[in-house]
Chain A
Amino acid sequence: MTPAKQRSLPRRVLPRVVAALGLVAAVLLSWWMRIEDARTADTPPRIAFGQPVDLGRVMLTPLSLAVAPEGDGPPQLVLRARLENLTGRTEGAVFGFPPRPPLVDAGQADFPQPEIFLDRDGEYLRHVQPRIPEEVTITWDIPAGWQPQEISLTFFR
């Protein structure tokens, strides 16, 4: 039996170094992919009415925006929209948890948190079921002194 040929140190170490580097690269790549998934764009894409907005769990399609005429209550900013659950289960947190509802950017006025009603019966929206799109009305009470002007709505994912 002939003695096994002794390999040089670099030849013995190099495969282990390559394997370790590959392992580290895989871990770093996985970590960075998670960061990229969680990253939000610096400038959100602009959308028009009728174009769907992917909010992650829910697809929201804004249909119309108007200032409701003064009635018994204070004037309101009213957004009509269609919601569709994209998940495989009943979704109660339409705007995420904790909720981040659409943000109204209209001058210096601070709009309060909106309320969401189901168009079908005017009740508060409780949840959206899979495969059952719902039309909803999202309302903001208009702050005192605010005059109609150009408005932008920001949706968060």
Chain B
Amino acid sequence: MIRAADMATVLAGAALLGAMMASAPDYNSVFQPFPAHAAPGEAADGRLFDARFLGGRLARQVAFERYGTPIIRDSAALFLIADFEVSHVTASTRIAATWRGASGRDYAATGRVEGAPGGLEARWFQPGLTDRAFAVFELPADEVPGGRLVLTAPGVTILDSALHLPAPPLPGPQPLARIAP
């Protein structure tokens, strides 16, 4: 007859194994970029570049010209145009922008304003130059307060840095915001 202590050991081992299997994070959760946080209005230091959140505009529609053609985009939610400054670039790079909303959801910069003058998808940032840029997001209004701008190098950012820039207080939404160079 198996002693109670032996049975308890086996059951404890099985429970421990089950708990480890249930709680083991997946690959994507384990390998993430290193976050660099900044206070509102301050610059965050990253591996390739530093960045500072300058301000933003909220709008129900955005207007811009693409190769001379006027375009207006509307949204079922809001557009957020986030302006930021990039400095201390150590190598020529492009930048990808994400808005981490108050709920924790990630909103990638919208592709619906592709071709807008100065759009982030076509911008390169060069060493020795301090530059300004903007990213446009489409998101529900309640994701803006408490959210933050996350800037990374494009592509795989594992073991790279991600700059987390909290949102400064933003004015209320305008009916239309114009994107101009």
Report which A residues bind B (CB closer than 8 A).
Answer: 11, 14-15, 18-19, 22-23, 26, 30, 88-90, 92, 120-121, 123, 126-127, 129-134
Contacts and interface: CB of A to CB of B under 8 A. Distances in A.
B2 A15 contact: yes
A26 B140 contact: no
Given A129-B139, A134-B76, A90 B13 contact: no
Task: Among A26, A30, A132, find the residue whose CB has the most chain B CB atoms closer than 10 A.
Answer: A132
Given A23-B17, A129-B138, A121 B10 contact: no
A29 B3 CA distance: 27
Interface of B: 2, 6-7, 9-10, 13-14, 17-18, 21, 73-77, 101, 103-108, 110-112, 114, 138-140, 143
13 contacts: A22-B13, A23-B17, A26-B17, A88-B106, A89-B106, A90-B106, A90-B108, A123-B112, A126-B111, A130-B101, A132-B138, A132-B140, A133-B76
Nearest to A15: B6
A126 B111 CA distance: 6
B9 A15 contact: yes
Given A22-B10, A22-B14, A126-B111, A132 B106 contact: no
A14 B140 CA distance: 60
Task: Among A22, A120, A126, A131, find the residue whose CB has the most chain B CB atoms closer than 10 A.
Answer: A131
A92 B13 CA distance: 43
A127 B110 CA distance: 8
The 6 closest A-B pairs by CB, nearest first: A90-B108, A126-B111, A89-B106, A15-B6, A130-B105, A88-B105
Contacts of A120: 74-76
A11 B5 CA distance: 13
Contact of B107 (A11, A18, A19, A90): A90
Contacts of A90: 106-108
Contacts of A14: 2
Contacts of A88: 104-106
